[in-house]
Amino acid sequence: MKLPPGRAPRAVRYLVGGTALALVLSACATQDDVVTLNFFQFKPEAVANFNGIIDRFEAENPDIRVVQNHVPDADTAIRTLLVKDKTPDVLTLNGNGRYGELAEACVFADLSDLTVVEQVRPAVGDIIGELGSCSTGEVNAVPFSSNASGILYNRGLFAQYGVEVPTTWDELLAAAQTFEDAGVTPFYTTLKDGWTVSPAFVNLGGALQPEDFFDRLRAEGSDVAAGEVSFSKDYPEAMEKLTTLYSFGQDGAASRDYNAGNAAFGAGESAMYMQGSYAIPAIRASNPDANIGSFPYPATNSPEDTVVVSGVDVAVSVGRDTEHPEEARRFVEFLMSPEVVQQYAQEQSAFSPLTTGAETTDPALAGLAPYFDDNRIIGFIDHQLPASLPLPQYLQELALGGSVEGFLSVMDREWSKIAARTIPNEKD
Amino acid sequence: MSTDVSRPARRGTPPPAMRQDRRVPRVFYLMVLPAVALFAVFHTLPLLTGMFFSLTNYAGYGEWSFVGLQNYVNLFGDDRIYNAYGFTFLFAIVSTIAVNIIALAVAIALNGRIRFKTGFRGIFFIPNILSILIVGYVFNYVFSNSVPAIAEALGITSLTTSILASPDTAWIGVVILSVWQAAAFNIIIYLAGLQTIPTELYEAAALDGATPWKQFTSITFPMIGAFFTINMVLSLKNFLQVFDQIISLTAGGPGTSTESISVLIYRGGFQGGEYGYQTANAVIYLFVIIAISFIQLRILQRREASF
């Protein structure tokens, strides 16, 4: 067989190149003065951003090499790594309830001695601390970027119909009514994906629930019905308001999913959209010229009580038993430097969790940013619920026309059952 | 069993020649051994490990401790599990009946003297070789977008919203996909059965003036009794374990209206961090399926024609 001209030399070149690369790599690994850090990165859309950061870090720190690992389903992957006792040296995770479970299982190192911990906004630090830690006083993760949940709106449609940004609940209803009367969909809702109802739940529930609701609920154990706090007693207002907002959704919402919602809102099919900062990159991907604004949920008629729900989108942790604690900490400190945090926040439409040196300049986030500066932020309350409680499913049922009482009683019932069957291990 | 008669004959030591014949050559055991080993390592061992973890509070990771039969006690007070059982059995029974009626009808048609018989048989078998997940996502699109669009154009108001979007009708979508997919395999089994019926029976019946319906009820159906039994047992068992169809069509929703037991076990066990509890659920379900298949076999085999 005769190879086409040029083909064989190229193949040989690849072979030679590959072998040379392999030799160089193995040489690196065996060199004693270069430490290789295993960096687990959970966000598929941020791989390029982190590659850039790692390049700069390696240029400044020639004695450390960082290998970024990223997988499609990070929550499952990190669990399998833990089961195999292969905790990464440095890792990023979403600051959700599952992170809290892992932190309580003492998987992550204590980072409270890092100087960056003091530069983190106190409210953001509290949010991640509330998720759980190995023991009180430990800091098991530092927040790298924050997101915020609110109501996104189409600036063009608001200007066209002369609607001001609402600051109270009544103004929000009036605005929705104005759009509906004018034949514009007030809210684009996407009920095919049950979880897309959760942002409204965490905002209204988080703002309207009594102080320390979940701590008191946990203290009640399985006897929720007889207890002082319960969903049935404390959540009717929030859930009535949620169903009111969803009644302003478009026709056929039940067969629309999150991606369809991002595209439709980007195309100007609705005036408002009940999603957070995390949806902005996807909306801009569908329409780069989308003129997006944002405001927090005015859950009550007193604007001074309005808060923004914020979660830690990317939290950075160090494996508790890493072989290179010093190098891992140096990498974390580099990640947390204001320039790196600021640049990442800009690229990903996120908020900086630091107090110094990082302004939020994205116009789509301008309506939410002041609340960060005033520490008027609360965490995602659904992170306080056990993972085995199917909240998105129940919310979907409610938004599709279920009754508020039915939702509240099933929440109480599930909570009690899970509390009754969860048998904790003895902590040592 | 008439033990008194059979025993004395066995009591005496058999002649050496006969003993020699009875001994199974060692090579047969060696041939079976790899399969037994693989089965034990990949099936029996995981099953026993799972049964073991159903007695613990294991979350899927981290520390765990023994909780005895507490998981099993809690299962019986969990209405979410009862709802899953209710949905699964409704779905499985409806689908089993539908799939057997449709498969038998198609098989009889494909067994007749029609043109392109082999081609049709091939076409009807295609759903079986397609991945349920992929077909499921296609059906999902059809139910959510195509059907409502067609209904709107034709003015059928009841179908303009997706049937998957309503908790009351979503299960019908799951049934349609499952029946479409499962019919292929049942058709093949019925075709095999139909080919075992001697044509003389039909010739004789035709001479006696039996109508086609009479021929079906008196010859065809009784003669394929064994195939009917195996199809009923296998399809009910498969439908009771329904998982892929639901994940791709509704993901258990809307709400929890199409949450089958397998989906519930997966959700709670792997995503909800209640591995031990849902493993207990799985162990009970294993015995439920075994019991149902056993009862079904006994009842159906009794009415099979013996010839």
Q: Check pLDDT > 80 for residue B3.
A: no
Non-local CB neighbours of A415 within 8 Å, separated by 6+ positions: A217, A224, A231, A385, A386, A389
Chain A residues whose beta carbon lies within 8 Å of the beta carbon of residue B273: 101, 386-388
Question: How do residues A145-181 score in pLDDT, each as one tens digit?
Answer: 999 999 999 999 999 999 999 999 999 999 999 999 9
- The chain B residue lying nearest A192, using CA atoms, is B165
Q: Verify whether the Cβ–Cβ distance B59 to A101 is below 8 Å.
A: yes
Q: How confident is the model at residue A346 (pLDDT cuts 50, 70, 90)?
A: confident
pLDDT the model gives residue B100: 95
Ordered by where they begin, the domains of chain A are 34-147+311-378 (3.40.190.10), 149-309+384-421 (3.40.190.10)
pLDDT the model gives residue A58: 94
CA separation for the pair A365, A377 (Å, rounded): 14
Average pLDDT, integer, range B159-170:
84
* Distance from the B100 Cα atom to the nearest Cα atom in chain A, whole angstroms: 31
Q: Verify whether the Cβ–Cβ distance B253 to A393 is below 8 Å.
A: yes
CA-CA-CA-CA dihedral for A278, A282, A283, A285, to nearest 10: 140
- The chain B residue lying nearest A400, using CA atoms, is B166
Where along chain B do its domains lie?
Answer: 3-53, 73-302
Chain B residues whose beta carbon lies within 8 Å of the beta carbon of residue A79: 60-61
Q: How confident is the model at residue A29 (pLDDT cuts 50, 70, 90)?
A: very low
- Whether chain A has a CB inside 8 Å of the CB on B34: the answer is no
- Whether chain A has a CB inside 8 Å of the CB on B267: the answer is yes
CA-CA-CA-CA dihedral for B112, B114, B116, B122, to nearest 10: -30
Q: Verify whether the Cβ–Cβ distance A393 to B252 is below 8 Å.
A: yes
Considering the domain B73-302, what is its CATH architecture? Answer: Orthogonal Bundle (1.10)
Question: How do residues B197-214 score in pLDDT, each as one tens digit?
Answer: 998 998 999 899 889 899
Question: How do residues B253-279 score in pLDDT, each as one tens digit?
Answer: 788 889 999 999 998 888 788 888 999
pLDDT the model gives residue B15: 53
Picking from A264, A284, A354, the residue whose alpha carbon sits closest to that of residue A316 is: A354
Q: How confident is the model at residue B4 (pLDDT cuts 50, 70, 90)?
A: very low
Average pLDDT, integer, range A55-67:
93
Question: How do residues A248-306 score in pLDDT, each as one tens digit?
Answer: 999 888 888 899 999 999 999 999 999 988 899 889 989 999 999 999 999 999 999 89
Question: How do residues B105-164 score in pLDDT, each as one tens digit?
Answer: 999 999 888 888 889 889 999 999 999 999 999 999 998 888 888 988 888 888 888 888
Q: How confident is the model at residue A11 (pLDDT cuts 50, 70, 90)?
A: very low
Q: How confident is the model at residue A32 (pLDDT cuts 50, 70, 90)?
A: low
Among A105, A396, A417, the residue with its CB nearest the CB of B254 is A396
Q: How confident is the model at residue A357 (pLDDT cuts 50, 70, 90)?
A: low
* B 176-205 near A (Cβ less than 8 A): none
Q: Verify whether the Cβ–Cβ distance B256 to A393 is below 8 Å.
A: yes
CA separation for the pair B61, A81 (Å, rounded): 10
Q: Find the distance separating the first CA and the last CA of chain B, reported in whole Å.
A: 23
Average pLDDT, integer, range A111-127:
89
Q: How confident is the model at residue B8 (pLDDT cuts 50, 70, 90)?
A: very low
The rounded percent of chain B whose pLDDT value lies above 90 is: 48
pLDDT the model gives residue B1: 39
Model confidence, pTM: 0.79
Mean pLDDT of chain A: 86
Non-local CB neighbours of A31 within 8 Å, separated by 6+ positions: none
